[in-house]
Amino acid sequence: MSKTDIQKNRNKTVVISGSTSGLGKEMSIEFAKRGWVVAGFGKTKSKVDEMTKIMGVKHQIKECDVSCNKSVKLFSENIIKKLGVPNLLINNAAVMNTPKPLWEVPKEEFDYLTQVNINGVANMVRHFLPSMVEKRKGLIINLSSGWGRSTSPDVAPYCATKWAIEGLSAALAQELPDGMGCIALNPGVIDTDMLRKCWGNGAELYQKPGEWAKLAVPFIESLTHQDNGKQMSAP
């Protein structure tokens, strides 16, 4: 990336949920390299502290529970006050169920998936979108999954949440004013802890999060309001 391109991104802010591990962590690092100011969060203090050291003082990495409306409200108020209205909101935070038939998944585990994977996105939208809509600017990227457009046995709870994100994204796109966009993005198959939970060592056959981010972040940067409502897949 040229110095000119980095200069263009200097005044841009991206908010990424679940930014202390997996795809969120690698996207945060890559956006920062490309000149963006990054605001992100995680639930675990040790991971937040580690990510803060990696990112530096220019960026805002905080503790926040995406499934908790109050926690997201406080985070959003802090970020908007410090950094202004974001140009890009990436709803990345998600969890995977322990693979097993649906009838064997405990209620508590099923509920936790919906709280993080669906309610978490709604919480982010609820507290960041009003300022973005007021300015009539910005894109919302909701990370979906291949399992938001297809199904497999033993991951029914996860499939349900990602199919929900596809529907939520399509409906939200119809609600946005001109100049804004919401896109459901399938990241593809990447060797993350979540994939290893399903596939074990078989996950190591796929690209690493850092490799993925080097291609995915420029692709996300290329998206515009004209892509509003589209179902897309990362390269």
Tens digits of per-residue pLDDT, 3-15?
777 888 888 999 9
Residues belonging to the active site: 158
CA distance 189 to 218: 18
Give 50-65 pLDDT, tens digit per residue: 999 999 999 999 999 9
pLDDT of 198 > 90? The answer is no
Query: Strand 231-233 and strand 180-186: pairing?
Result: parallel
pLDDT above 80: residue 1: no
Neighbours of 44 (CB within 10 A): 12
Asked if 91 and 161 count as a contact pair (C-beta separation under 8 A), the reply is no
Q: Spell out the domains of the chain, with CATH numbers in brackets.
A: 3-233 (3.40.50.720)
Q: What is the mean pLDDT of the chain?
A: 96
Rg of the chain over CA atoms, in angstroms? Answer: 17
Q: Which of 89-93, 193-197, 198-202 has the highest mean pLDDT?
A: 89-93
